Structure 1
Amino acid sequence: MAQNGITFAWTIDGHGSGIRISNENIAEEIRNVGLAWVHINDSDFEARAWIEKEIYYLDRIILDALLAEETHPRYIDYQDGMLLILRGVNLNPDQEPEDMVSLRIWIDSHRIITVERRKVQTIRDIDRRLEEKTGPKNAGEFLTMLTGHLFDHIDDAMTRLHDQLDALEDKLQDNPEAVSQRDVSALRRQAMTFHRYIAPQRDVINHLRLSNSAWIPPIHKRIFSEHSDKVNQMIESLDFLKDRALIVYDELTSLTNLKTNKNLYLLSGITTIFMPLSFITGLLGMNVMDIPGAHAPHAFAYIAIGTIALGILMASIFKWLKWF
């Protein structure tokens, strides 16, 4: 990690590119009139100290929000700028995508400060685009590009969720025993977690769409309107996915109950057949005097044949009654 927890910083030249800023010049550049962007990882204690020292001119509420440990999507207007807290898909190795990572942003007409605790891929996308000279030209375009990349990654993750559910539905039709209720429940929990963080971001985008900030021109507000529609579609898609997962879970539960009931029914039938046979063998097996047939040489054979015949007769009756 770079010094003071600063991952990188740029001056943006208005043509889709810019110049990387060395650490010692960052504080000065973000106070200048030109547009500058600094990205900070605040898991480093030095980063928190740097923010407190060098960005002291921002309101205390803004600084506290930038450094907050627990965050939820929100929007705060303050003078010529705004504070945004957004959530993105967790694309870090060995992490769950629905464990969404927080991105805190202060932005105005000439400074952009972004803060992360865990790596946010969207920020790297914009950094790469500045390298390729296809990056944002101004603060308004930075926001449209950032939210666009953020929602594209979320949309990709949701597409994968739908694909997983499609696979479970197909497997349920072909081989129900291969589908686990645990898998369906895990998928539904993922959808609920996504919904928890995506739904509030709709309000953030609507605030941007209706913002009166002079540095957000009408063309960018129209883009935010498109993003708002996209967020609404994602929320509806998540609701649909949760409903589909619930239907799959209920169907799987019904199949499991049906199989259990069938096994219990078969077991009850077998028990019913053997109950009179057990009574006969128990009666004739009593250790008392003068049991009928006790001294007859062929008594055991007769009793065995009789009990077998009785068992066959009862099974035939049950079959005829369609109890089996």
Structure 2
Amino acid sequence: MPLYIYDILSDGTATPTTDTSPTGVSGYRWFHFDLKDPELPQWANAHLHPIPAGALLQTETRPRCDVHDDGLMLNLRGVNLNSDGPADQMVAVRMWVTDQTVVTVRMRRVFAIEDIRKALEAGTGPDSSAAFVEALASRLTERVQNTVFELADQVDDLEDAIHDDDDAPLPDNLAELRRTAIRLRRYLGPQRDALMALAATDTPAGNSPLHRRELANLAMLTVEELDSLQGRLTAINDHHNARAAEAQNRNSYILSIVAAIFLPLGFITGLFGVNVGGMPGVDNPAAFTILCISMAAVSVVSLVVMRWLKWI
């Protein structure tokens, strides 16, 4: 059985009912199902055309907006505000809408639908099926925008950290932020297209399309913001990679300079360390001092030559 059924009048008031017929006496009738409901396939196949019935029963969906006869097949997604997953693990709403019937199917709880139900119980619900679609799309879009704005604030903080300290360490949450932006963009791109298609259709008849066009515009701005965030996160990651590579190159360069200075010194100590006859200075008490002074002079000459060659 549906999670709930409402008969909704033109003044926005609603009456719960147990009648499973697709239409009521007046206004429009709203059915809300859980996809796991075992009676849903039987009800959909008995009361709906096979095409919209199949669309409602699909396990995997993507945002879409298609007109079929006198109705509208609409799939939308919203951010997951349930405790069973992150916000970017989005929830889907499958819809079939005519002038007199609205059918919504969800797999997980959708808070935007809960908002509409509360409005209906308060007597201020959508007064037509078209208004229902717009109300649901508006609430889903608002929550998506809030999530994207929160993500943008976190990216702003990362950029501010770089501005304050160019040598700031790589943020621990950078990779997760990039994955979140990618997952959101994956679903919100098709959702933008679905809302643009919704703005261009007049089925089901009802409210002015101005609100629908505004929703499509907000969806487009959200997708553009996500594209911008992906680019900014990539720039932040590239900056940290460049700084790490620069530090590694600098350390390698210093080690190379040190090795170059000690190379002739190692040769000298190795040469004077051979245990064979005829080594100069063996019987001279000042030989070690002379050797140390000579090695210091070689080091100074090496530094001067490197400076002259602009190696340092």
TM-score by length of 1: 0.86
- Alpha-carbon RMSD across the aligned residues, in angstroms, is 2.3
- Asked whether 1:52 is paired with 2:48, we answer no
Alignment-derived partner of residue 30 in structure 2: 37
Within a 5 Å distance, the mapping from 1:227-246 to structure 2 comes to: 227-246=215-234
Per mean C-alpha deviation after superposition, the further-off stretch among 179-188 and 294-303 is 179-188
Alignment-derived partner of residue 12 in structure 2: 16
User: 1 CA distance for matches of 2:296 and 2:137?
Assistant: 78
Cα deviation, 1:57-103, whole Å, max 9, x if unaligned, reads: 21222222212111111122222211111111122225222222111
Q: 1:211 aligns with which of 201, 207, 213?
A: 201
Aligned residues: 310
How big is the shift at 1:318? 4.1
Within a 5 Å distance, the mapping from 1:301-316 to structure 2 comes to: 301-315=289-303
How big is the shift at 1:166? 0.8
How big is the shift at 1:119? 2.0
- Asked whether 1:192 is paired with 2:188, we answer no
Q: 1:126 aligns with which of 76, 94, 116?
A: 116
Alignment-derived partner of residue 277 in structure 1: 265
Structure 2, unmatched stretches of 5+, are none
Alignment-derived partner of residue 245 in structure 2: 257
Per mean C-alpha deviation after superposition, the further-off stretch among 306-315 and 69-78 is 306-315
Per mean C-alpha deviation after superposition, the further-off stretch among 111-120 and 296-305 is 296-305
How big is the shift at 1:108? 1.3
Letter in 1 for 2:249: N
User: 2 CA distance for matches of 1:154 and 1:120?
Assistant: 12
Kindly indicate whether the alpha-carbon contact (under 8 Å) linking 2:8 and 2:30 is maintained by their aligned counterparts in 1. Answer: yes
TM-score by length of 2: 0.89
User: Percent of aligned positions with the same letter in both sequences?
Assistant: 32
How big is the shift at 1:157? 1.0
Structure 1, unmatched stretches of 5+, are none
- The 3-state SS of whatever aligns with 1:87 is strand
**1:214 to 1:166, Cα distance in 2 relative to 1, 3 A:** closer
How big is the shift at 1:154? 0.9
Q: Which has the higher helix share?
A: 1
- Asked whether 1:63 is paired with 2:53, we answer yes
Letter in 1 for 2:39: W
Kindly indicate whether the alpha-carbon contact (under 8 Å) linking 1:88 and 1:100 is maintained by their aligned counterparts in 2. Answer: yes
Kindly indicate whether the alpha-carbon contact (under 8 Å) linking 2:134 and 2:211 is maintained by their aligned counterparts in 1. Answer: yes
How big is the shift at 1:33? 3.8
- Asked whether 1:84 is paired with 2:74, we answer yes
- The 3-state SS of whatever aligns with 2:15 is strand
